[in-house]
Amino acid sequence: MRNHILLRWMGRLLFIGGVLAVSYVAFALLHAKCYQALASLTLDKQMQVDDNIAVSARETAVKEGDILGRIEIPRLGMKVVILEGTTSQTLRLGVGHIEGTAVPGETGNIAIAGHRDTYFRALKDIRESDEIEIQSATGIARYEVDKIQVVAPDNTGVLAPSPVPAITLVTCYPFHYIGAAPERFVVHAHKQ
């Protein structure tokens, strides 16, 4: 009798724990979706500012979480806001500009990181010659994918500066791996 009561209470506690876990995930996803919509509106307003007032992102103080632009890969149906930084909070809300690389709107290698199980999930289907569009307050730039590779996590050479406009997208690999992924999936593209 005592075991039956104990099992019944354990079942109830497990059910409540499951409901709380699912609720947390649903809230996190809803929060990120709402943030993306608001950030997109903010970016659109920034892009409407008079071209004479446009200022390079490096000339203003850019801090973690600031909206830098939007990345779109039309063939994959992917469109997401680019934020400054790569903290876990930032990458929950969008994709992040990797510090020390060119900022969207500048010449050089713009490096952007994102989670493989959220915004950069679509990268698993990317191909050479796909178009990547970066929109920022300074305008729209189009890039063409020229190289896709898988590298070790400590290979920072993929983030090296470039004398020509380029973009590097980085996410964890393999895409369906559970836990901390052992490799990085890297997409290189050059400006068209």
Q: Over 80: is that where the pLDDT of 179 sits?
A: yes
| pTM for this prediction | 0.80
Residue 40 counted as domain residue? no
* Domain annotation covers residue 146: yes
To the nearest 10°, report the CA torsion of 126, 131, 132, 137: -170
**Domain count of the fold of the chain:** 1
| 177 assigned to some structural domain | yes
Flag whether 64 is in a domain.
yes
Cα 173 to its chain centre, rounded Å, is 14
Residues spanned by the domain of 105: 51-191
Report angle CA 93, 99, 104 to the nearest 5 degrees: 75
Exposure letters 156-190 (e unless 16+ CB within 10 A, then b): eebbeebeebbbbbbbbbebeeeeebeebbbbbbe
CATH for 103: 2.40.260.10
User: What is the longest distance spanned by two Cα atoms in the chain?
Assistant: 80
pLDDT digits (tens, 9 = 90+) for 125-164: 999 999 999 998 888 999 999 999 999 999 999 999 999 9
